[in-house]
Amino acid sequence: MARRFRLGGVPVGAMICLAAVCLSGCSKKELEGAQVAAAPAAEAKMEVATPGMFVPSGTMPGDQVPEKYRWNLDYMYESAEAWETAYVRVDAAVKEIPACRGTIVRDGPSMLACLEMVFDVKRQLESLDVYAYAFYSTDRNSSEIKARTDRTQALLTRFGEASSFMEPALLALDPQVLSAMVAAEPGMAKYAHYIDDLNRRRPHVLPQEQERLLALTGDIQAGPGFMHGALEADVKFPDTTDDDGAKKALTMASFPKFRGSKDRNVRREAVEKFFATLKQHSKSFAASLDMAVKTNIFNAKARGYDSAVQSALDASAVPVDVYMSLIQATADNLPRTLHRYVQLRKKVLGLQEVNYYDLYVPMFATSERTVPYEQGVDMVKVALAKMGPEYSQVLATGLALENRWVDVFPYDGKRSGAFCNGAWRQHPMVFLNYQNELEDVFTLAHEFGHALHFHLASSQEYVNADTPIFLAEIASTFNEEMLLDDLIRKAQTKEEKLYLLNKRIENIRTTVFRQTMFAEFELLVHQEVEKGGALTSDKLAEIYAGLVRKYYGPEFTIGPDDGFEWAYIPHFYYNFYVFQYATGLMSAIALSKGVRDGGDAELKGYLDFLSAANSDFPVETLKKAGVDLTKTDAMLATFDLFAATLDEMEKLLAE
């Protein structure tokens, strides 16, 4: 996951919010049980630990972890006092911003001076935030450290208020006048894309008084999402039987574990109880989802969009064609991919029929392999050896323990998960909870994909150096793909190879097929309301079950309550968000294949893509690297890979 705050485009859904970034990488992994396989306890590992390997424990005090495995953040601020001094300075600078209000549109030099000031304050604010959040991530026990992140948030809000006049003021100018002012002022060149983006949104920006009224509905608009969260907390599931025959609590959090049990009775009982309980509460869930859909449609209509999907995608300048291409290309390729996979599962697991509760059980033994951190570092370097001198050199520098870019192991007070963060033109920092498992090596590769993206994006001027959400997870999953491909090629045993091939299949199933199914569901339920229909709980279940049948195909047996899974998915409250998981992985697969099989041109295309950051619209940036998501060609690379992986698995199984 990449963690950066962004100054969202005012006025459409101005979002100065850290959580928005969190929705990208992390929440999918939390939602999808496949990736959260229960990790064996560190204690159990000790017996097989390589001599000299550091074995972490979550209860160990941080100062007992050797220094080389802890990051060093002194390069940002030499001490907490230095951070405080900077905070006071930025706070004062924020108060200066409103002075621009009267001058910003006076002439070219005044406009430039205002933009420079606002973006410079934002840059300093980002630095404060990166440092405060990094400390907070490694020490959840200190209220002083927590206070630093809260104060940064408050300053961020004050900055948002202080600078809120800017974009409406620029948009109040006639577009020709604005463009002429930008063209006449040489220093404005770096703001050209920023102004282009502003102009692009112009037709959907309302007069100031109407904008104010819409802004006042903010809390109300957030209501359906909160309602869904409250419902999730209120719903009580009956206990279910675990692998040892004991009754255990079934919850939203424990569901993925039971769903993936090797014991078919265990997983069937849990899934049936889970969906039956959702069904019992489905009228409340439906009322809240219906309200979320109507909120999106209200916003789209208020701003003069043709549809809710068009309105949502326009925030990132993504054409609706991309969304439709994704759904169409997936539908066209289901028989040779997902339908075939269901057949293979049936055969490998020796089942009469494949149900929902047979989708998450591993087909092959999971890897028991222990990978010390130093070895994981080497594996990542080898897998990315083809990336050219600059990439390789920065990667080696960042991975070298003595440079301390990475906080490697879990310890007391440290939060869970992984992320990469960084301030403009400073080296990135990587946060891990490495547990000496193969899966952790993939996380390391993933986060260093973000790190190198940050590094190369810093070649842009600050205003263009952001890494948009639509692109960010391409850089990270690209590295995972490179690593996976390298490991599959080098697999020494049939078992190891089958495990890795199945990992690839499951990555694509949960990130491309499942998320595209969600995306299609979102589209269908919005269209239902747009054409005057009503979203009752039965209607939602009917739409959802129809999609499950379509995606999993004729060999799949759908249970009586499976259609109520829609009530479990929080992402339906994110307003057409999940399709980016699918397009992100598809783009990463196409690009990594290009770099592996191609020559210098493909590599240069990919590196230019990383360096481009936010200097153009995301879909255009991707197009220059050879992935045109308005067409289906690039998506085919993923379906071809999926089908070829099935072929390889079948061949191995026949041996």
User: Pattern of binders to Zn ion over 69-88, x per CB under 5 A?
Assistant: --------------------
Q: Is 1 in the site for Zn ion (CB under 5 A)?
A: yes
Q: Which is nearer to Zn ion, 476 or 511 (CB)?
A: 476
Tokens of 402: 């003595």
Distances (CA, A) of 173 to 48, 113, 180, 521, 641: 69, 17, 11, 41, 50
Distances (CA, A) of 560 to 265, 271, 462, 563, 651: 17, 11, 54, 7, 35
Q: Which stretch binds Zn ion (CB under 5 A): 23-31, 148-156, 214-222, 578-586?
A: 23-31
Instruction: Check if 402 is active-site.
Output: no
Tokens of 42: 């560190």
As measured in angstroms, the least distance from the Cβ of 477 to Zn ion is 8
Phi, psi for 442 (deg, rounded to 5): -65, -40
Strands 247-248, 429-431: pairing kind: unpaired
As measured in angstroms, the least distance from the Cβ of 446 to Zn ion is 6
Phi, psi for 419 (deg, rounded to 5): -160, 170
As measured in angstroms, the least distance from the Cβ of 252 to Zn ion is 23
**Alpha carbon 367 to its chain's center:** 26
As measured in angstroms, the least distance from the Cβ of 292 to Zn ion is 26
Between CA 229 and CA 234 the distance in angstroms is 9
Cα dihedral 263, 266, 267, 268 in deg (nearest 10) = 110
Q: Is 458 in the site for Zn ion (CB under 5 A)?
A: no
Out of 288, 476, 510, 614, the only residue in the binding site for Zn ion (CB under 5 A) is: 476
Q: Which is nearer to Zn ion, 25 or 594 (CB)?
A: 25
Between CA 483 and CA 502 the distance in angstroms is 15
Q: Which stretch binds Zn ion (CB under 5 A): 18-26, 202-210, 508-516, 580-588?
A: 18-26
Q: Which is nearer to Zn ion, 25 or 56 (CB)?
A: 25
Helix (H, G, I), strand (E, B) or coil at 430: strand
Between CA 386 and CA 377 the distance in angstroms is 16
Q: Is 428 in the site for Zn ion (CB under 5 A)?
A: no
Q: Which stretch binds Zn ion (CB under 5 A): 24-32, 37-45, 70-78, 262-270?
A: 24-32
Distances (CA, A) of 634 to 5, 273, 318, 336, 433: 30, 40, 16, 17, 34
Q: Is 25 in the site for Zn ion (CB under 5 A)?
A: yes
Q: Which stretch binds Zn ion (CB under 5 A): 79-87, 293-301, 476-484, 646-654?
A: 476-484
As measured in angstroms, the least distance from the Cβ of 371 to Zn ion is 20
Tokens of 43: 């204690």
| Chain position whose Cβ is nearest to Zn ion | 25
> In the beta sheet, which residues pair with residue 437?
370
Q: Which is nearer to Zn ion, 473 or 520 (CB)?
A: 473
Q: Which is nearer to Zn ion, 314 or 481 (CB)?
A: 481
Other C-beta atoms within 10 Å of 436: how many? 25
User: Pattern of binders to Zn ion over 495-534, x per CB under 5 A?
Assistant: ----------------------------------------
The residue from 272, 447, 480, 496 that is catalytic is 447
Q: Which is nearer to Zn ion, 317 or 418 (CB)?
A: 418
Between CA 479 and CA 592 the distance in angstroms is 8
Size of the site for Zn ion (CB under 5 A): 3
Q: Which is nearer to Zn ion, 1 or 125 (CB)?
A: 1
Tokens of 327: 């759904």
Sites of contact with Zn ion (CB under 5 A): 1, 25, 476
Kindly list the catalytic residues.
Answer: 447
